[in-house]
Amino acid sequence: MSRIPAIYLHKGREKSVLRRHPWVFSGAIRRVETQPQPGALVDVRSHDGTWLARGLWSPESEIRVRLLSWDETEEIDEGFWRARLERAIAGRAELATSGHSSAYRLVHAESDGIPGLIVDRYGDWLVLQALAIGIEIRKGMLARLLDGLLRPRGIYERSDEDVRLKEGLRLVNGPLLGEEPPELIEVFENGHVFAVDVRRGHKTGFYLDQRENRALLGDILRLDRDARRKTVLNAFAYTCGFAVYALDGLAQRVINVDSSADVLDLGRHNLALNGLEVNEDDFVVGDVFRVLREYRDRGESFDIIVLDPPKFARNAAQIGSAARGYKDINLLAFKLLRPGGLLMTFSCSGVIGADLFQKIVFGALLDSGREAQVLRHLGAGPDHPVALTFPEGAYLKGLLCRVW
């Protein structure tokens, strides 16, 4: 272990490491002993040389070290990685054995103690994302370990998120181990079927993080005796996940709006897979900002609106413009809801916390002249855990509001 290169922090910068935050930023580093190889193990020491933690070196990224262990005697060997994967898999045992869903997140990076690694399960297939160089150089070994633990038919790699560029890595999209998955993988979720395109779909193919919120929408409608008279607007619909639950919950109509015609095509396919009627008028290819304005100008109204936009803010510098975007669509949604209607509104921007998001929605409400109550605070499901040491992991937040 003595051959692991050491990096020394500036005085006072050991605090976050002692609080077990998994990231060491470049600005915290005073000195690097011997230049470590990209992705190599490094020992993090305080300014006076005290050993603090061990992690993976990312020389190109502002997040210069991703920490793995705070125990000096712990060896980061294959057994370590296997144990971390086993722990993550064990954490999903309930989901796996309940039989409610064949698609869920198995490894949620930092929050599962494996910074930079995402692994999602889609039935017999795994999809892996390597988002840091320390994971990139170990992905073959990690894939082999996952293969041994889970025996999937194949592991497909979707390392094509832009954050890879910050690590000096190129984007990769292709098979990694075993068989190649089919064009569309059919998965089930709470009694519904979805076709997932793991090659071209967003993230690893499907918004697994919204599973519980889709189910909540389905439950709300199923418990509503008037469901058959209710119209839902599913804004930023992607492949119509919320729509399938709402229609199965007997909503009269769900209008899906998305700027991409391709995702709505797959959405139509998903409706059909679930035996639901596909009405062309219910699929609108367009910009949600523009479409909502048109609905407002035409005096349309809805009983339930789901707003699940893409990440508006990628970094702190974009918070202002993102906030204006969120306010804009929420203001329009408040205006479009019938009295007693429901707004299910989300933000997946990590840099916008739950408090700020609620303030933005509050601002939109004031401008709309309506009244609203928060019925529930929403977030990702338990297959997307948030380590208490890593609040940044709580990227998805949402509100269910009753609007008067």
**25 or 289: CB nearest ligand SAH:** 289
| 197-226 residues near ligand SAH, rule: CB under 6 A | 207, 210
**Interatomic CA distance for residues 336 and 403, integer angstroms:** 10
Count residues binding ligand SAH (CB under 6 A). 17
Q: Are 100 and 190 in contact (CB under 8 A)?
A: yes
**183 or 265: CB nearest ligand SAH:** 265
**242 or 395: CB nearest ligand SAH:** 242
CA distances from residue 116 to 201, 216, 361 in whole angstroms, order as listed = 20, 30, 32
Cα end-to-end distance, the chain, whole Å: 64
Residue 312 touching ligand SAH (CB under 6 A) = no
Residue 326 touching ligand SAH (CB under 6 A) = no
Figure out which of the listed residues 94, 287, 294, 300 binds ligand SAH, where binding follows CB under 6 A. 287
**44 or 257: CB nearest ligand SAH:** 257
Residue 349 touching ligand SAH (CB under 6 A) = no
Rg (CA), the chain: 23
Instruction: Indicate which residue of 177, 348, 365, 380 is catalytic.
Output: 348
Residue 242 touching ligand SAH (CB under 6 A) = yes
Using CB under 6 A, which of the segments 20-28, 76-84, 174-182, 255-263 binds ligand SAH? 255-263
**Interatomic CA distance for residues 26 and 225, integer angstroms:** 57
Residue 252 touching ligand SAH (CB under 6 A) = no
Figure out which of the listed residues 258, 282, 303, 383 binds ligand SAH, where binding follows CB under 6 A. 258
Residue 260 touching ligand SAH (CB under 6 A) = yes
DSSP designation for 309: -
Non-local CB neighbours of 98 within 8 Å, separated by 6+ positions: none
Q: How far is the CB of 311 from ligand SAH (least distance, A)?
A: 9
**Interatomic CA distance for residues 210 and 208, integer angstroms:** 5
**23 or 122: CB nearest ligand SAH:** 122
Closest by alpha carbon to 288, among 258, 323, 308? 258
Q: How far is the CB of 110 from ligand SAH (least distance, A)?
A: 22
**136 or 258: CB nearest ligand SAH:** 258
Q: Are 288 and 259 in contact (CB under 8 A)?
A: yes
Figure out which of the listed residues 24, 155, 187, 288 binds ligand SAH, where binding follows CB under 6 A. 288
Which is it for strands 302-307 and 231-235: parallel, antiparallel or unpaired?
parallel
Non-local CB neighbours of 216 within 8 Å, separated by 6+ positions: 344, 376, 378, 400
Using CB under 6 A, which of the segments 123-131, 237-245, 247-255, 395-403 binds ligand SAH? 237-245
Residue 310 touching ligand SAH (CB under 6 A) = yes
Closest by alpha carbon to 376, among 163, 139, 212, 255? 212
Q: How far is the CB of 310 from ligand SAH (least distance, A)?
A: 4
DSSP string, 192-220: EEEEE-TTTSSTTSS-GGGHHHHHHHHHH
Using CB under 6 A, which of the segments 88-96, 131-139, 220-228, 281-289 binds ligand SAH? 281-289
Sign of CA dihedral 141, 57, 12, 47: positive
In the residue annotation, 348 being an active-site residue is answered as: yes
Positions marked catalytic: 348
Binding site for ligand SAH (CB under 6 A): 207, 210, 236, 238-239, 241-242, 257-260, 263, 287-289, 308, 310
